[in-house]
Structures are given as C-alpha cells and as structure tokens.
Amino acid sequence: MAIRPILNVAESAAILKQVSAPVERVDDELRALMDDMLETMYDAPGIGLAAVQIGVLKRVIVMDLAKEGEEPQPRFFVNPEITWTSDETAPYEEGCLSVPEVYDEVQRPARVRLTWLDYDGVAHDEEVDGLFATCIQHEMDHLNGVLFIDHLSRLKRDRAIQRVKKVIREAA
C-alpha cells in the first residue's frame, strides 16, 4: 500500500473536472488501487475519496464513516450508480480533501438508492440515508467531474478557490 498525493482544485482543476471511466473488472490491480486510496484517505484524514482525487480516472470510491474510537469500517464502491433519490433534501456542512480548509452547506437528496460492486466484485443494491447518503453523493459527483463548491454560488466558489490557493502557498 502507498499514500498517494491528493490533487487540489487550485493546481489540478483540469483533471478534477474530467469524467471518470467505468471499471471493466474488479481484479488484483484494482484492489491495489483501492488499498492505496484507503491508506491515502486515512492519512489525510478524510471520510471519502474518489480515484480521480489521486489522478486515476476510474469510477472507484472508498469511504469510512466510523466515528472516532469505533472500529474502522472501510467501504469500497466500484461503478456506483444512483437509481433513485428522495424528493426530501438535507443540508450538510461539506468539505473535500481536494478543496482543503473550505467548508460550506450543500443541500442534497436525504435518501438515495444505489448499486455498486465491492472490493471482491460482489454486486450491492441498497437504500441509504444520513451521512452515508451525503458522502456517496459527494464522491459520485467527483466521478462526474463535479466538486461540492460547484453547488455553491459563483462568488462562494471563487472565494473557495482563492482560499485553497492561499492554503497551498502557505504549505509550500
């Protein structure tokens, strides 16, 4: 396993805006990618990471919503598809490893139904809510080249990018 550099919107917007391609099969090579993604996410630390955030344009997401002190609960999503969304929405103060130190409220459907393949290539079909629903929608946006700041006003988005530029400068 290896920790990979995470792309940010100030330096790598052109990659982060691309649409990721479906995965053809879940094999050891893909599992090695998922292992790296999980380690990179834990190191950051974050609760979700899409492959495009480490520069790999594949429809793969890792997530762990365990609270502090709980056992890790790693989840892997290959080729996830949302098949239903609730009319009811819920707000959540979102952040993103590719938009460091920026947090803002985004409204998304409160419940979604989705299908995906897991780490072993097993198919799942589940309805989820709460943080799971918010996080998977945020991560699936990444697979389509969309960042959470794209859901905000233009002014807020421009400010967010300026903020990230400053964060990157200060870290250099």
Of 147, 108, 104, 103, nearest in space to 131 by CA: 108
Nearest distance, CB of residue 98 and Zn ion, angstroms:
5
Interacting residues with Zn ion between 63 and 102 (CB under 5 A): 96
Q: Applying CB under 5 A, does 61 fall inside the site for Zn ion? A: no
Q: Is 101 a catalytic residue?
A: no
Q: Applying CB under 5 A, does 140 fall inside the site for Zn ion? A: no
Angle, CA of 120, 125 and 129, to the nearest 5°: 115
On whether the CB atoms of residues 42 and 133 are closer than 8 A, the answer is no
Residue 86 DSSP label? -
Nearest distance, CB of residue 81 and Zn ion, angstroms:
19
Q: Applying CB under 5 A, does 62 fall inside the site for Zn ion? A: no
Interacting residues with Zn ion between 12 and 41 (CB under 5 A): none
Q: Applying CB under 5 A, does 114 fall inside the site for Zn ion? A: no
Closer residue to Zn ion, CB minimum distance, 25 or 164: 164
CA distance 133 to 120: 22
Residue 13 DSSP label? H
Catalytic residue among 68, 94, 139, 170: 139
Positions of E strands within 39-136? 48-50, 60-64, 74-85, 89-96, 99-109, 111-117, 123-129
Nearest distance, CB of residue 134 and Zn ion, angstroms:
11
Nearest distance, CB of residue 97 and Zn ion, angstroms:
6
Q: Applying CB under 5 A, does 135 fall inside the site for Zn ion? A: no
* Residues annotated as part of the active site: 139
Q: Please give the residue ranges that form the binding site for Zn ion (CB under 5 A).
A: 96
